[in-house]
Amino acid sequence: MISIIIPAYNEEAKIGELLSFLRKHSEGQEAEILVVDGGSSDNTVKVAVKKGAKVVRSPLRGRANQMNFGAEKARGEWLYFLHADTTPPPTFIADITKKIQAGFDCGCFRLAFDDHHPALRIYSWFTRFDLNFFRFGDQSLFVRKALFSRIGGFDHKLLVMEDQEIVSRLKSRAQFVIIKKTVVTSARKYQRFGVFRLQFIFAIIVVLFYLKVSQEVIAHFYKSFMMGSSY
């Protein structure tokens, strides 16, 4: 069984459409859908329940904590972590199953945005390469639950970059594959703050992370930008 784990926080605008899509394309297959809520103040939980997902409330907020809690509650042998604003290809279960049968214990999809801005298309193009610099949670992640547990799951101490960090650890323990199909993620933050401006901020965050700057400093830098932007 594949457990689809979706961390969510105030995602009522996106979660319903995603869950309808997932239910349609997982019908008749061994899959469960878990929405791990991080204390939403909107109707995220209500929408998710109405759409038939299993909803669990994480005792700790933060994406890493929510995904770890979802993995703990999952019944499947395989985990598939998916952001609430990202849609996988309709054949995602079959695509993942083929890679499992080929001997891979973990992997992700290539990335595309729901906006055709040239810079975003270039950025997306690079996600086909096995470079950690271009490996982020928006690409989703499948992993054998036993392997996930063995490496200790997501690092709950990380406030940012938790997705890229776990991929690095997974690669040191198992074969990682990039499936030659795309997930489509929302470009809403780029549309709000500006494509080049936000991408520049993300690049700085990656550099700070690899320079081992403290998570508190990186998180403060990111939040200051998000709150202080005039866009």
Q: What is the per-residue pLDDT for 7?
A: 97
Beta-carbon contacts of residue 207 (< 8 Å; ≥ 6 apart): none
Q: What is the pLDDT along the chain (231 residues), one digit of tens a residue?
A: 999 999 999 999 999 999 999 999 998 889 999 999 999 999 999 999 999 999 999 999 899 999 999 999 999 999 999 999 999 999 999 999 999 999 999 999 999 999 999 999 999 999 999 888 778 889 999 999 999 999 999 999 888 889 989 999 999 999 999 999 999 999 988 888 888 988 888 889 888 888 888 888 988 888 877 665 433
**Model pTM?**
0.92
Q: Where are the alpha helices (DSSP H) in 74-144?
A: 92-101, 118-125
Q: How does 190-206 read in b/e, with b if 16+ C-beta sit within 10 Å? A: bbebebeebbebbeebb
Pairing of strands 78-81, 141-144: antiparallel
Cα 144 from Cα 3, distance rounded (Å): 10
- Tell the residue number behind the tokens 């081992």, with chain if given: 212
End-to-end Cα spacing for the chain: 44
Write down how long the chain is.
Answer: 231
C-alpha distances in Å from residue 225, one per residue of 68, 186, 209, 219, 229: 28, 20, 17, 10, 6
pLDDT score, position 159: 83
